[in-house]
Amino acid sequence: MFSKACEYGIKATIYIAVRSNEDKRVSLKGIANHIDSPEAFTAKILQMLARENIILSVRGINGGFEIEKSRLEHIKLADIVKAIDGDNIYKGCGLGLSECNELHPCPVHFEFKKVRDDLRELLETTNLKSLAMDVSSGVSFLRI
């Protein structure tokens, strides 16, 4: 469904959100440990997210990653997915035709489109704050 990079990106961002909500900044090492991801690879993904202004990175001692608290509920899962995997999952044809086009549909188009639109809806409406709250309260988990 999502690439590994995107999975790590989502989990990392949620973890940063959890800690930012407690006014804590978190280091790469802390992130990689909490989401159980390869550290150096995670660094690359965090760089992408920082360049896209989804997270904020701070260099030097006591540096790390954070997200402005007030933005938490405005950042959607879709922002992260789009930054890492692009929007093919929303827009692309499920059978790989060059474009998904109602007027030239592939055999699964009409059924597939529903599922894809539900996924898009999910990603576009789910915000970081609620995801972070669930993790904080032990309702959901980022690893194992």
Partner DNA sequence: TTTTATTCGGACAAAAAAGTCCTATTTTGG
Partner DNA sequence: CCAAAATAGGACTTTTTTGTCCGAATAAAA
Where on the chain is the footprint of DNA (CB under 7 A)? 3-5, 8, 27-29, 37-41, 43-44, 46-47, 50-51, 57-65
Rg of the chain over Cα atoms, rounded to whole angstroms, equals: 17
Taking the C-alpha atoms of residue 57 and residue 66, their distance in angstroms, rounded to an integer, is 7
Amino acid letter, 24: K
Among 27, 114, 127, 137, interactor with a second copy by CB under 8 A: 114
Q: Does 45 bind a second copy (CB under 8 A)?
A: no
What residues does 78 pair with on adjacent strands?
Answer: none
Decide whether 56 or 85 has the Cβ nearer to a second copy.
85
- Give one DSSP letter per residue of 44-98, joined into a string: HHHHHHHHTTSSEEE-STT-EEE--GGGTTT-BHHHHHHHHH-SHHHHS-TT--S
Q: Among ligand FES, DNA, a second copy, none, what does residue 63 contact (CB within 5–8 Å per kind)? A: DNA
Q: Does 82 bind a second copy (CB under 8 A)?
A: no
Residue 6 structure tokens: 């995107």
Q: Does 2 bind ligand FES (CB under 6 A)?
A: no
Residue 142 structure tokens: 């980022």
The phi and psi torsions of 86 (rounded to 5 degrees) equal: 80, -170
Among 71, 76, 109, 120, interactor with ligand FES by CB under 6 A: 109
Interface residues with a second copy (CB under 8 A)? 1-2, 4, 7-8, 10-11, 14, 77, 89, 92, 94-98, 104-109, 111-112, 114-115, 118-119, 122, 126, 131, 134-135, 139-144
